Amino acid sequence: MIKALTSLAAVVVLGACSSTDIAAPINHDRDIRAQVQVVRMAHDISLAGAGEAMLSDDAAKSLVAFLVESEARYGDRFFLDPGDNVSVSELAMVRELFAVRALPVGDNAPLGAKPGPRTVRLYLERHVVTAPTCGQWDEELGNSIRNNTSAFFGCSNAQSLALMVADPRDLVAGVDSPRSTAPAVQAILRGRMRAETSSDVGATGIELPQLSGASRNR
């Protein structure tokens, strides 16, 4: 009789401690990841009136205006798409405008409609990161905390990484090792030298803006 009462009491105690509304495990992984998107902008460089070593004044001013308005920065990648009647030397001249200022230009890439004759289309590719939103603790007020980690666990780390990364593309593709930081260092040094001089005209005779990202992060 005593054993039966003891067993019954144990069942009652265990039943009082149990709950039927224990939440299933929840995956917050998608909520706390930084989102990276690719943005492309295009600009047509006219070679009408261009020489073997430099663009025409109008084409040069238009190119500078595009780079300033798009705020060309560290991490941006550039691609060229030449139209008809563009010589190899002219295409090399356009590439040199960017090479002397450590603006990386990739292989020719037809990323859109074919440009017109005597035109080189410039594509600026940029990876933009959006940090996750942290501090939402609605689930902590209910019973869903059971069997789960805290809501947005690790979100502050993901947010800090998104805000600190110099090139958001690294969050998607990673970084090959070893990787030289020389282009970034050169961009910073050029920004400091430009502040001390009145002009930064290269050998081609065209003044292009410095990488805005490098000057901001120095």
In degrees and rounded to multiples of 5, residue 31 shows phi and psi of -75, -30
Q: Is residue 9 included in any domain, yes or no? A: no
Q: At 106, which CATH number? A: 3.30.1330
Q: Is residue 80 included in any domain, yes or no? A: yes
Q: Is residue 146 included in any domain, yes or no? A: no
Q: Is residue 46 included in any domain, yes or no? A: yes
Q: What is the pLDDT along the chain (218 residues), one digit of tens a residue?
A: 555 545 545 444 445 454 445 555 555 555 678 889 999 999 999 887 765 567 888 888 899 899 989 988 888 999 999 998 888 888 888 888 888 777 888 888 888 888 988 899 999 999 999 998 887 666 666 555 556 667 677 888 888 988 888 888 888 887 776 666 777 778 788 777 776 654 444 444 555 655 444 444 44
Q: Is residue 23 included in any domain, yes or no? A: no
Q: What are the strands of the beta sheet with 35-46, ordered from one edge?
A: 35-46, 119-130, 77-82
Q: CA separation (Å) from 33 to 134, 137, 171, 207?
A: 11, 17, 10, 40
Q: Is residue 112 included in any domain, yes or no? A: yes
Q: Is residue 27 included in any domain, yes or no? A: no
Q: What is the residue range of 117's domain? A: 35-130+164-199
Determine the residue type at 72.
A
Query: Alpha-carbon distance 83 to 34, whole Å?
Result: 38
Number of domains in the chain: 1
